[in-house]
Each structure stands twice: as C-alpha cells, then as structure tokens.
Structure 1
Amino acid sequence: MALENCLQVGRITATCRSVGLPPSHHSSSFKEKLLLPTNKKKFNFSKSSSLNLTPRSVPSTVCKAREAINEVQVVTDSSWDKLVLGSETPVLVDFWAPWCGPCRMIAPVIDELAKEYAGKLSCYKLNTDDSPNIATKYGIRSIPTVLFFKNGERKESIIGAVPKSTLTTTIEKYIDSS
C-alpha cells in the first residue's frame, strides 16, 4: 500500500563511503544485484571505489506523503491549525496519553484505519499531556477520544476504546459525503 502512494524520481549516485561499506569490500570482484520494488528491474553493481549502476539514471522511490510510511502523524498545539483545521480531506484525531491503557489498545486500530483510508482521510494523534490547550479547547475530559473534522469543523466524537466497526461507520459518513 505504501508503494502505491509513492513517486519515482531522481537518480541514485553513491560511493562506498556514502553507503557505509568497509574498505575491505572495495574490490571489483564483489558483485550484487539491486532490486527496485517499483519496476522490478535488476541492476548490477560492484562495491568498488564508487557504485556503478546500469543504467546510469536509476529511479528511486520517494514518498509523496509521510503517511505512506508513518500513517498516523503526531499533531501538536502548534501544528493543529495547519494539519487539522486546514486539511482538505476529512480528519480523524486520536486524543491519547502514554500512560492510558485503553489508548494503547485502540492505537493499532487507528493505524489500520489510516492505512485503509490513505488519501481519503488524514489521521493524527494528539498527546494530551504534551498539548493540553487543544484538549481543553475541545472539552476532552476522557481518553481515548476520537474527534472527526471535515472542512475545519468538528463533526463527531467517540469516547473510549471502541471496536473498529464503530470507527469505520463514522469515517464512511464523512468520506462519502464529500
């Protein structure tokens, strides 16, 4: 899924020192194959004084968005307006704290939902210990609490460690009514 959200760009150029090879591997007799997952082409290279790749311009994979790798991003008081209120897609925000057992129980569910709805829904987590101003502003008195936003407006909240189906039903309401 993460590779589907990525672009092919650029050129790979490296020396043995830049890729961290020890000097003992600099002999030209040492050969390996490089397999790029985006196009399944194999490129021969040797660990000599510089890395020789064929063809010369090799596509590398660079992700369009951090969500492709780290689906649930951290939002703070300082990034709230830009990431949540300024989002063009519906937003799910998980209010949590590291000491909260139910918060740790629901975290994998939020991670799964972020992967499933990548590109349709932005998912964030806000540590209420680190960002108490936002939690206070939205009246968060119990965690975990999941808030849903669309077009910068708070739409709905779900309190407690609920089943994935409960969150999915709520998400579907806001991504379908775009």
Structure 2
Amino acid sequence: MALFGFYLSWRATRLHRLHHRVDVARAGLDGALVRRRSAVLALAAAGCTSPAGARGLEEAVEVAGEAGERNLDLAESTLSRVLRAVLEDTGPGCAPSALPVLAEVEAAAKGVHIARTFYNDAVSDTRRARRSRLIRVFRLSGTAALPDYFEIDDQPPRIPLPPVRPDTL
C-alpha cells in the first residue's frame, strides 16, 4: 500500500512538473511574440516599406498587442500575413542601414515559430499524461486547467536580403 502511495505521489509530481513546463513555455512564447512585435514596429519606422505598408504593419501590431487571450491567435496570424505581404512587396529596395532591422525581424519571426513549437510540445505531453486513467480516477491534476494548443500562422517571411560581398567580410 505504501508503494502505491509513493507511486501516486510520483505521478502527481510529474504532472505538476508538466504543468510548470507549460507555464514556462507559454512565458517564452509571449516573450517571442513581444519581440516580433517590436521588431515589426522598428521595420515600419525604418522606412524600408511603403507608407501604406508601414501603416498596415503598425495597425496589425497594435491589434496584436491589445488582443485578449481568446483572440491572440487570430491577431498574431494576421500580423504574420501582413508582414509577409509587406516584405514581398518591398523587394530589394531597402537601404543598407535597414539590413539589421530586417535581420532582427527574420530572427524574431523564427523565434516565434520555435517558441510555439516548444509550447505545443509541452501541451501535448501534459494532455497525454492527463488522459491516464489513474490521473483521472484519483484526480491528481487537481484544479489545474487543461492547457490548450496555440495555433497560429507563424510561417517566417521571406526577407529580401541582398547578397553579401566577400570584400565586406
């Protein structure tokens, strides 16, 4: 009987760690989304896009920043689509001084993709553990809410960076 109690305690602790992993991954995802928003605002201010494109980026960032938990996925997907559309229209017409801004946008967009992957993996592991009959019968999950996946259109934009000349390295 003591061995069974120890096993239940171990399972409850494991489940608690999985929920903690989800919380940490969500904080990382939120940080990546904020970084991408700030990089997109810097891109809009850099003058690398048309005035209409800059306004569209600023509006999409504002909507994403003000979106609540229920609408965040839709707002961030919209930001991704607007960013891709603006960068495809930009072409290679960016000034050389805007190249670091473009590189930051690219890195931030890839960071969102990676952070979302980590978060969804943590959610998947937690949901799988909570499906266990033992977890449900003994209510080892307590009052913790079942985590939801975060699905957005996070395909990184294709950045039109000019080729690097060997003499500048």
Tell me the TM-score normalised to structure 2 length. 0.24
Higher RCO (Cα < 8 Å, 6 or more apart): 2
Tell me the TM-score normalised to structure 1 length. 0.23
Q: Which has the higher strand share?
A: 1
